[in-house]
Structure 1
Amino acid sequence: MKQISIPAGKKVYFASDNHLGAPTMELSRPREKKFVAWLDEIKHDAAAIFLLGDLFDFWMEYKTVVPKGFTRTLGKLAEISDSGIPIIYFVGNHDLWMNGYFEEELNIPVFHKPQQYKLNDTSFFIGHGDGLGPGDIGYKRMKKVFTSPVSKWFYRWLHPDWGVRLAQYFSVKNKMISGDEDVHFLGEDKEWLVSYAKRKLETQHYDHFIFGHRHLPLEIDLNGKSKYTNLGDWISYYTYAVFDGTELSLVKYEA
């Protein structure tokens, strides 16, 4: 379990699901500026920042090419990372194809699976959340196909102008962005990430489970000693979580 110590007066921040670039670069620009303003505010007391995936609506790294745009976000992340504040990134289902750029250019570690952290004396299980828990067999199969080395090798043979444009088209059509059937609370018994967290607790205790992906700000008590938090998004809710070393809170950002 990775350890992060939080100095007095400092906090740890968590955010996810910005989907920058959706539905177009121009329409997502105000959301990007709002997110950058938030980063600029929290850098003054951040001990660490966790970004839990889908920062971009599509991200594909070719050998020498990355998608155009997002200059404000990447510049602010570089500034914060260069200042010595650790930023930890978890890939989501829209940015599965990260492959070294964040690590090499921004000094930001990138994880493709959930990780366990201890912040001071509090334990956390952290991940994007896609493909976890029961059900959603179709997506799990699709993810295996998309993340296979063979699929990535074939896709890279497309010229970036075609590859990025094609992926952006299908990404915007994703029901998590263009529709709302999956962004309603299903009830605790039907929330698959809640079920996943409860099963994990059968073998090991965690004080907090933090996920993104569902686009809903949620706080659910699991067993009286552990809590599940979903971070919401930066499309409709502009919510994030903050841990002050003792308490975890879900907060709405007001610019």
Structure 2
Amino acid sequence: MNIPKGKKIYFASDNHLGAPTSKESLPREKKFVAWLDEIKKDAAAIFLLGDLFDFWFEYKTVVPKGFTRTLGKLAEISDSGIPIYYFVGNHDLWMNGYFEEELNIPVYHKPKEFTFNNKIFFIGHGDGLGPNDKGYKRMKKVFTNPFSKWLFKWLHPDIGVKLAQHLSVKNKLISGDDDAKFLGEDNEWLVQYCKRKLESKHRDYFVFGHRHLPLEIDLNTTSKYINLGDWINYYTYGVFDGENFELKTY
């Protein structure tokens, strides 16, 4: 993709709408929608890197209640011709066609490479990547197993969604009660993952979410790891103007 003059590519991640309650997340949702409304004026494309919702599961004829402002704004932007790309996170693993069919937004379940103005971007949510975190990786296999999803679908939505929301908000990081801590480059799994990927191919930018921390780390003289932060504590987002990438706060 060549970015037209005066246009930009925007990146955001980890809104966790609905947490810890719908009422308490509503101001954050309104702020996010205001941001979307603002950036549509010069956006060449928008990348949402997962965990937009604190929980999302698509039944055959039902999706979770709420988030009307967000979904409506995304539909408006998509209908205007601005492409939006969505990468599922660990809280919205169970997307299955709704965004594609209703909003014309492609959904990716694994990291993907894009090239903008000859700059190579490697983009994804970031969960389960890198060394360690073996417990989560095992759980993710269970969560994404077709048989597990089939079993969950037999729960009435009022029961299944409520149960999942209860389990989700027990995590203090997700509910916004605690800050993630920077572990140092040697202990940041995504940093190690990016360095390993660079051994086989050059990328200019690795852009992820998941860590809930705004981070910019030089991997070498020509490659950089970016973590977008979140819309719980930081309200940070990424902007690429065709030449440079910046983290900004809304």
**Shared fold by TM > 0.5?**
yes
The answer to whether the 8 A contact 1:182-1:214 is kept is no
CA 180–70 in structure 1, closer or farther in 2 if over 3 Å, else same: closer
| Aligned pairs (5 A) from 1:160-239 | 160-178=157-175, 183-239=180-236
2:53 to 56, 60, 72: 56
Residue 129 in structure 1 maps to residue 129 in structure 2:
no
AA aligned to 1:227 is: K
Alignment partner of 2:222: what SS? Answer: coil
Within the candidate set 63, 66, 75, 2:63 is matched to 66
Q: Which of 233, 236, 240 is the aligned partner of 2:237?
A: 240
Gap runs ≥5 in structure 2: none
Cα shift at 1:175: 4.3
Render the CA deviation track for 1:164-193: whole Å, top value 9, x for unaligned.
000000111124314777710000111110
Q: CA offsets per residue over residues 148-175 of structure 1, 9 Å max, x none?
A: 0000000000000000000000111124
In structure 1, C-alpha distance between the alignment counterparts of 2:173 and 2:114, rounded to whole Å = 28
| TM superposition shift of 1:5 | 1.8
| Unpaired stretches in structure 1, ≥5 consecutive residues | none
Q: How big is the alpha-carbon RMSD for the aligned residues of Structure 1 and Structure 2?
A: 1.0
Q: How does 1:103-142 map to 2 (within 5 A)?
A: 103-142=100-139
Alpha-carbon distance between aligned partners in 2 of 1:73 and 1:93, rounded to the nearest angstrom: 19
Number of equivalenced pairs: 250
CA pair 75-181 structure 1, distance change in 2 beyond 3 A: closer
In structure 2, the residue corresponding to 1:63 is in which secondary structure?
A: coil
Q: TM-score if structure 2 supplies the norm length?
A: 0.98
Deviation digits for residues 116-161 of structure 1 (CA, Å, limit 9, x no counterpart) = 0001110000000000000000000000000000000000000000
Partner of 2:94: 97
C-alpha distance in structure 2 between counterparts of 1:224 and 1:176, whole Å: 33
1:87 and 2:104 correspond: no
Distance 1:55 1:152, change over 3 A: same
**Is the partner of 2:113 in helix, strand or coil?**
strand
Q: Is the 8 A contact 2:3 2:116 kept in 1?
A: yes
